Amino acid sequence: MVIHLLGTKIGMTQIFTKEGSCIPVTVLKAGPCMVTQIKTQTTDGYNAVQLGYSQVSTHLLRKPQLGHLNKSNAPALKYLKEYKTTEDTKFQLGQILSVDQLKIGDRIKVQGNTIGKGFSGYQKRHHFSRGPMSHGCKNHRQPGSIGAGTTPGRVFPGKKMAGRLGGNKTTIKNLKIVDINTENDLIIVKGSVPGKPGTVLSIQNT
Whole-prediction pTM: 0.79
What's the pLDDT score for residue 1? Answer: 60
What's the pLDDT score for residue 108? Answer: 92
Q: Of 99, 100, 97, nearest to 81 (Cα)?
A: 97
Measured CA distances, 166 to 19, 103, 126, 179 (Å): 37, 32, 12, 30
Pick the CATH number of 4-115+170-205 from 2.40.30.10, 1.10.540.10, 2.60.40.10, 2.40.160.40: 2.40.30.10
In tens, the pLDDT along 115-124 reads 999 999 999 9
What is the distance between the alpha carbons of residues 32 and 51, in angstroms, rounded to a whole number? 10
What's the pLDDT score for residue 92? Answer: 86
At residue 2, φ and ψ (nearest 5 deg) are: -75, 130
What is the distance between the alpha carbons of residues 8 and 43, in angstroms, rounded to a whole number? 32
Contact criterion met (CB below 8 Å) for 171 and 109: yes
What is the distance between the alpha carbons of residues 200 and 40, in angstroms, rounded to a whole number? 27
The identity of residue 125, as a single letter, is: R
In tens, the pLDDT along 93-105 reads 888 888 888 888 8
What is the distance between the alpha carbons of residues 54 and 185, in angstroms, rounded to a whole number? 12
- The two beta strands, 77-84 and 48-55, are antiparallel
Q: State the Cα angle at 168 between 76 and 99, rounded to 5°.
A: 45
- Which residue spans of the chain are classified as CATH 2.40.30.10? 4-115+170-205
Give the mean pLDDT per block of 10 residues along the chain (206 residues). Answer: 86 91 93 89 88 91 92 90 81 87 90 94 92 88 86 90 93 93 91 93 88
